[in-house]
Amino acid sequence: MNDPRICAKCVLPENGVEITLDAAGVCNLCREHEKAREAGPTAADAPLLETDFIKTINQYRGKGEFDCLVMCSGGKDSTAALYYMKKRYKLNALAFTFDHGFETEEAIANVRRAVAVLDIPFLLYRDTSMHGLFSELLQSGSSAVVCHVCAIWYMGLTFRMAQRFQVPLIIAGWTKGQMTTQPVLTKCACGAEGPEYKRMGQATRDFLATLRADPRYKDFPASMEEAVAKAQKSYKCRVLSPHWFLPQETETYVELITRELGWAAPPLSYPGKSTNCLLNFISVHNSMKHYGFTHYHVEMSKLIRENLLTRDEALALLRIDFGPELLNRIAEPLGVKFPAEPR
């Protein structure tokens, strides 16, 4: 089978549904972006300034024992966010890492080194209760995106932790490719409100609806919007990322946290030069199988359109070089087996 055509401007592959290419080989999303630019900027297009961020976080400074709860995966973006909150903005931060049983030792080691250097209190929450849900998703053949389901879980969990410690502000390491504007501050890291996520979102809702008879998951939210709405009813909390407001290039803060905090990229991760949990490999495999692209393709395409990443750089980072052997090793605790690829 031939590989799909890829947009000549970004990295989205043609799948005939969300992504179509015109005669020039340019995808519909790039064309929509061009039209929006030609129409001129709107109020929503105004750049977010660091002064805006400082004004906002100052509203929460000194309100409790901790000024903010920082979600730390051990990746470069969340580690930099933790560094900024302590060193740049002088906030009293509480670091929070959630492990569903698939976090890597290297990622957790990054967080431990960072909190030791920065002298920040650290919560490590390990909970494998989601394994049954992940197993059901994979064995059912659902096209729901594993990462989107997991994001619903971890955002609800993060709000509960913020409530437990009465922290008024949640800080994430989300970048401009993941979310960029105030209206989506409380959605998941994927910023899954775009048209390219429509089928993914519906598949997630359809899958979660099948779990209503399972007492373990009968109250599990059907979407990120529902998860956040439930959380906000119990405890009002603001969610922000410093990366939306700062002009720093990724290379700049990677050099900073490597030098100051001993941060190290893991030997195994996807996309390249990232730090994601092991379950992410399965999520990527399934997204490519069902949709022809992943949320990483969408994020990097946004960065390309904003001239924050080159197309060649993105293609190199998105190269898939793993197969069933790795997937089966990861999926073993879930009782799931992936078939060998045809030769």
pLDDT tens for 217-232 read 988 998 888 998 999 8
- Could you tell me if residue 134 is inside a domain? yes
Task: Identify the band that residue 24 occupies on the pLDDT scale cut at 50, 70 and 90.
Answer: very high
Task: Identify the band that residue 177 occupies on the pLDDT scale cut at 50, 70 and 90.
Answer: low
Top-confidence residue, 303 or 121? 121
- Could you tell me if residue 193 is inside a domain? yes
Closest by CA to 172, choosing from 224, 122, 241, 115, is 241
- 183: pLDDT strictly greater than 60: no
Q: Compute the distance between CA of residue 284 and CA of residue 263 in angstroms, rounded to an integer.
A: 25
Token duo for residue 333 = 């605790």
Task: Identify the band that residue 179 occupies on the pLDDT scale cut at 50, 70 and 90.
Answer: low
- 245: pLDDT strictly greater than 60: yes
- Could you tell me if residue 222 is inside a domain? yes
Q: How many CB atoms lie within 10 A of CB 149?
A: 22
Q: What percent of the chain is modeled with pLDDT above 90?
A: 77
Instruction: Please list the alpha-helical segments (H only) found in the chain.
Output: 28-39, 50-58, 76-83, 105-118, 131-140, 146-164, 198-209, 224-234, 250-261, 279-291, 295-305, 311-317, 324-331
* Total count of domains within the chain: 1
Task: Identify the band that residue 186 occupies on the pLDDT scale cut at 50, 70 and 90.
Answer: very low
- 328: pLDDT strictly greater than 80: yes
- Could you tell me if residue 265 is inside a domain? no
Among 30-44, 170-184, 239-253, top mean pLDDT goes to 239-253
For residue 74, the domain's CATH number is 3.40.50.620
Average pLDDT over residues 167-193: 63
- Could you tell me if residue 203 is inside a domain? yes
Q: Compute the distance between CA of residue 304 and CA of residue 92 in angstroms, rounded to an integer.
A: 35
Task: Identify the band that residue 323 occupies on the pLDDT scale cut at 50, 70 and 90.
Answer: very high
Average pLDDT over residues 70-77: 96
Q: What percent of the chain is modeled with pLDDT above 70?
A: 93
Task: Identify the band that residue 145 occupies on the pLDDT scale cut at 50, 70 and 90.
Answer: very high
- Could you tell me if residue 258 is inside a domain? no
Task: Identify the band that residue 41 occupies on the pLDDT scale cut at 50, 70 and 90.
Answer: confident
Q: Compute the distance between CA of residue 235 and CA of residue 257 in angstroms, rounded to an integer.
A: 32
- Could you tell me if residue 21 is inside a domain? no
pLDDT of residue 30: 97
- 187: pLDDT strictly greater than 50: no
Contact of 253 with 185, CB cutoff 8 Å: no
Average pLDDT over residues 89-108: 97
Task: Identify the band that residue 48 occupies on the pLDDT scale cut at 50, 70 and 90.
Answer: confident
Task: Identify the band that residue 193 occupies on the pLDDT scale cut at 50, 70 and 90.
Answer: low
Task: Identify the band that residue 194 occupies on the pLDDT scale cut at 50, 70 and 90.
Answer: confident
**Mean model confidence pLDDT for the chain:** 91
> Does pTM surpass 0.95?
no
Burial class (CB in 10 A: 0-12, 13-18, 19+), 243: buried
- Could you tell me if residue 328 is inside a domain? no
Q: Compute the distance between CA of residue 68 and CA of residue 90 in angstroms, rounded to an integer.
A: 11
Domain containing 84 equals: 50-244
